[in-house]
Amino acid sequence: MKKIIFLFSFILFTTLLITACQPAPTPTAEPTKEQPPVEPTKEVVVEPTKAPEPTAEQPIEPPGCLGTAKDAILDLQCRKVTVAIENAYLPFNYVDAKTGEPGGWDYDTWDEICRRLHCTPVYTEAAWEGMIQAVSDGQFDAAADGITITPDRAEIVDFSMGYINIEQRLLVRIDDTRFKSIEELAANKDLVIGTQTGTTNYETATKFLPETRIKAFEQFPFAVQALIGNDIDAVIIDETAGQGYVGANKDKVKLIGPSISSDQLGFIFPKGSDLVEPVNNALKAMMKDGTLTKFNIKYFGPDFNLTYDDIK
């Protein structure tokens, strides 16, 4: 476009020059003056609003930090605490299939612990098998998965104080009347029991039956499915977890017999962890003010109706 305008101007100038050499009539009007060039519009740049700088009176906490330094039993200064969790053990931990959100007793309790210690819980899903060793190796700061306190485990990890007592029971098919206790089951050499590998439930089973009559599964849902499918005759399981399976399969399974074993559960930490004492202090405070009782009623009471069909 610029080249065309220049050529036109050159032709016009040449024509005027030739015409100026010959007589011409006096012009009757002034030639039109060129309009002054239009100044280009200046671009307006809007600077983003800067967030206010934190002040000593109002510090800005990092995402995920719970509680405040002012109210903390011990101020961990928003320290990140990695917590290993299975997400497959009702009612302690799970992931809701509809919402994709994690939940359970472990989540509520650890959130409350961090509110009282001013820390940041970082939940990391991990398989049960190998979880205790992973904590012992320092891969996680803690683990929460309904872990029974035992002398053998205490040799490689540190435990928190016991936060709840759990009874071990037998889960059987709804129409099974062949036995009413683990002793009666053990007396029938044709019967096989199932449980989860690496659990105290497995250890309890070995006290009554030879290992040839014990079938171990990676997760309890697999053991329960084997029970429903007539592949095994019973499952030895923690009563709280067993109630969840009964709720999901009322027409298929039931809990029977007296308590086989009563155990205390605790959180685990790497040996020598500086988190054990603060967490114990938080748990004691939660027991004293009724917070832990509130969580126990919420997840172990009759109003908790989430089943294994509702979780991932």
- Reply yes or no on whether the pLDDT at 201 is more than 60: yes
Which of 82, 85, 80 has the alpha carbon at shortest distance from 118? 80
Write down the pLDDT at residue 298.
93
- Reply yes or no on whether the pLDDT at 5 is more than 70: no
Residue 256's H or E segment, with its range, is strand 253-265
pTM of the model: 0.73
Write down the pLDDT at residue 96.
94
Higher pLDDT, 6 or 79: 79
User: What is the DSSP-derived secondary structure letter of residue 311?
Assistant: B
- Reply yes or no on whether the pLDDT at 78 is more than 50: yes
Average pLDDT over residues 10-14: 39
- Residue range 166-263, CATH number: 3.40.190.10
- Reply yes or no on whether the pLDDT at 21 is more than 60: no
Record the tokens describing residue 73, joined without a space.
């039993």
Residue ranges of alpha helices (H) inside 148-238 are 151-154, 182-187, 200-206, 220-228
In one-letter notation, the amino acid at residue 130 is G
Distances (CA, A) of 26 to 20, 29, 31, 103, 297: 12, 9, 12, 98, 110
Strands 193-196 and 234-238: parallel
Record the tokens describing residue 251, joined without a space.
């027409």
Question: Using one digit for the tens of pLDDT, what is the confidence trace for 177-193?
Answer: 999 999 999 999 999 99
Share of the chain above pLDDT 90, in %: 70
Average pLDDT over residues 17-45: 43
Write down the pLDDT at residue 24.
43
Write down the pLDDT at residue 28.
45
Question: Using one digit for the tens of pLDDT, what is the confidence trace for 241-268?
Answer: 888 888 888 899 999 999 999 999 999 9
Question: Using one digit for the tens of pLDDT, what is the confidence trace for 42-74?
Answer: 443 334 434 444 444 445 667 799 999 999 999
Record the tokens describing residue 200, joined without a space.
């105290």
- Reply yes or no on whether the pLDDT at 156 is more than 80: yes
In one-letter notation, the amino acid at residue 208 is F
Average pLDDT over residues 300-305: 84
Q: Are 154 and 266 a contacting pair, CB within 8 Å?
A: no
Average pLDDT over residues 208-225: 94
For 102, counting Cβ atoms within 10 Å of its Cβ (0-12 exposed, 13-18 middle, 19+ buried), the class is middle
Topology adopted by domain 79-163+266-310: D-Maltodextrin-Binding Protein; domain 2 (3.40.190)
Other beta carbons within 10 Å of 25: 5
Higher pLDDT, 209 or 53: 209
- Reply yes or no on whether the pLDDT at 3 is more than 50: no
Which of 165, 166, 167, 230 has the alpha carbon at shortest distance from 194? 230
Record the tokens describing residue 282, joined without a space.
């938080």
Ranges in the chain annotated CATH 3.40.190.10? 79-163+266-310, 166-263
Write down the pLDDT at residue 244.
81
> Average pLDDT, whole number, for the chain?
84
Question: Using one digit for the tens of pLDDT, what is the confidence trace for 108-119?
Answer: 999 999 999 999
**Residue 160: pLDDT band with limits 50, 70, 90:** very high
Write down the pLDDT at residue 163.
95
